[in-house]
Amino acid sequence: MPPQAPARLVVGIVLAQMGIFLAILTPVVVTLALRVDEIVPKGQRGAKLGTVMAVGAVLALVANPLFGALSDRTTSRFGRRRPWLLGGMSVGFAGLAVIAFGDTVSLLTLGWALAQLGCNAALAAVTSTIPDLIPEEQRARVSGFVGMSSALAMILGSLLANVFQDTLALAFLIPAALGLAAVCYLCTVMTDRPAAKGSFPPYGLREFGLSFWVNPRKHPDFGWNFVSRFLVFAGISAVTTYQVYFLEDRLGYSEDEVTGKMFLGTIIMVLMSVAGSVAGGFLSDRVGRRKPFVLGAAILIGVGLLLLAVAHSYALFLIALFFFGIGQGLYMAVDLALAAAVLPDPATSAKDMGVLNVANALPQSLVPIVAPAVLAIGGGNENYTALFLLGGICAALGATAIQFVRAVR
């Protein structure tokens, strides 16, 4: 039996992933919408939020594979992951500080762009530590804890938003500081060897383009996993981006009430996500199968979205988040282990995981662009039924796509 990864390394990976997600998901779920509320009229907030989110998400889309490819090539004596972990998270902190103190949509857009670039550079490095340093037999369990960490980041971020709702700047700065501290801890406990000099060709325009590409004909399992991720995260993004406005517009809560309502909803969603993530990871490793768990996760996410589509009460909203949370946690755990198994080349693991992470980031860009048109179906601007039904359809299609992966059971 191969040696297990040491506990301090697993803890470091989990904390670093949680810290990065804490910094970047707290604005996505709560605080960025509230910050936009503070500086633009109510009638413009949906479009302005969509603009800010879309610009940041496009840069996240570029940053993950680009910085992943550069990380694979890094020959620094500090290793090939540490410089991008520390540098990326420092830039992310700076971007969130710009949002905290900026008073125009332009400054919010600039800050969110920096935050996405920096945090995604760090995320590309930390994600690659699983295929780099974790044995295959242990990956679903570790991925389960990593998936749990993103859920815990959401609940901690909602708590901080609730605590600092009267001093919103701190709701950006404190998560960013915690993320930076967590990344520093991982850097002290991980083994990180630099890339061998001369092992990669010089980085030019062709290599830049290849940073964003894995040939799906040569690697069809990777391609199907990408398609599945994209569709499932399109459904997830419909919820994470528009919960605040759903509570205000359909359920009629005021801006002052929303943070409290979001906090309770996030607690339920996160607890279920933690349960789905940990249990799914252990069961998947035990039975040696991945695809049935990913299928079940996508179906549960779809059920949550369908319930949100018909929800006209806070109670049904919470029930929807219950199913959505289980599905999201299970998906985050097992799909990451599945992804690590279909990477084309261990030498380019950060680049290839970065390409896969495009499937996470791209929906964050496209959903805010498409959502205003979907919300306007019927002549208004609050058709959340259509938005969440579309998200549910995407999740169902994602569940179908994963069945075409052949190398993993």
53-105 pLDDT, tens per residue?
A: 878 878 877 887 888 888 888 888 888 899 999 999 999 999 999 999 988 88
Q: Are 134 and 5 in contact (CB under 8 A)?
A: yes
| Average pLDDT over all residues of the chain | 85
Q: Provide the pLDDT for residue 257.
A: 85
Residue 24 is part of which domain span?
7-196+205-404
Q: Provide the pLDDT for residue 150.
A: 73
Which stretches of 232-333 are assigned E, i.e. beta strand?
A: none
**How many DSSP H helices and E strands does the chain contain?**
14, 0
- pLDDT tier at 372, thresholds 50, 70, 90: confident
32 in any annotated domain: yes
Q: Provide the pLDDT for residue 51.
A: 82
Q: SS3 breakdown of the chain: % helix, strand, coil, rounded to 5? A: 80, 0, 20
191 in any annotated domain: yes
Overall average pLDDT of the 349-375 stretch: 80
Q: Which CATH number is 39's domain given?
A: 1.20.1250.20
178-213 confidence digits (pLDDT tens): 999 999 999 999 988 888 887 777 777 777 776 677
Domain count, the chain: 1
- Which stretch of DSSP H or E encloses residue 116? helix 105-133
**Tokens (6 digits) for 356:** 């896969």
Query: Could you tell me which of 226, 180, 235, 148 has the C-alpha nearest to residue 24?
Result: 180
**Tokens (6 digits) for 131:** 């295929």
Overall average pLDDT of the 20-42 stretch: 86
371 in any annotated domain: yes
Q: Provide the pLDDT for residue 381.
A: 67
The fraction of the chain above a pLDDT of 90, given in percent, is 29
- pLDDT tier at 134, thresholds 50, 70, 90: confident
* pLDDT score of 115 more than 60: yes
- pLDDT tier at 369, thresholds 50, 70, 90: confident
* pLDDT score of 140 more than 80: no
2 in any annotated domain: no
Write down the pTM of the prediction.
0.71
Neighbours of 181 (CB within 10 A): 13
Q: Are 293 and 334 in contact (CB under 8 A)?
A: yes
1 in any annotated domain: no
409 in any annotated domain: no
- pLDDT tier at 371, thresholds 50, 70, 90: confident
Q: Provide the pLDDT for residue 267.
A: 83
Spell out the residues 6+ positions from residue 60 whose beta carbon is closer than 8 angstroms to its own.
116, 117, 119, 120, 361, 364, 365
CA 372 to chain centre: 22
- pLDDT tier at 305, thresholds 50, 70, 90: very high
Q: Are 126 and 186 in contact (CB under 8 A)?
A: yes
As a three-state string, the secondary structure of the chain is CCCCCCHHHHHHHHHHHHHHHHHHHHHHHHHHHHHHHHHCCHHHHHHHHHHHHHHHHHHHHHHHHHHHHHHHHCCCCCCCCHHHHHHHHHHHHHHHHHHHHCCCHHHHHHHHHHHHHHHHHHHHHHHHHHHHHCCHHHHHHHHHHHHHHHHHHHHHHHHHHHHCCCCHHHHHHHHHHHHHHHHHHHHHHCCCCCCCCCCCCCCCHHHHHHCCCCCCCCCHHHHHHHHHHHHHHHHHHHHHHHHHHHHHHCCCCCHHHHHHHHHHHHHHHHHHHHHHHHHHHHHHHHHCCCHHHHHHHHHHHHHHHHHHHHCCCHHHHHHHHHHHHHHHHHHHHHHHHHHHHCCCCHHHHHHHHHHHHHHHHHHHHHHHHHHHHHHCCCCCCCCHHHHHHHHHHHHHHHHHHHHHCCCCC
Q: Provide the pLDDT for residue 8.
A: 92
223-269 confidence digits (pLDDT tens): 898 999 899 989 988 887 788 888 988 998 887 788 788 878 878 88
Overall average pLDDT of the 104-112 stretch: 92
- pLDDT tier at 22, thresholds 50, 70, 90: very high
Q: Provide the pLDDT for residue 2.
A: 56
Q: Provide the pLDDT for residue 154.
A: 77
Query: Could you tell me which of 271, 274, 250, 279 has the C-alpha nearest to residue 329?
Result: 274
Q: Provide the pLDDT for residue 146.
A: 80
Output the CA angle 396-397-398, nearest 5 degrees. Answer: 90
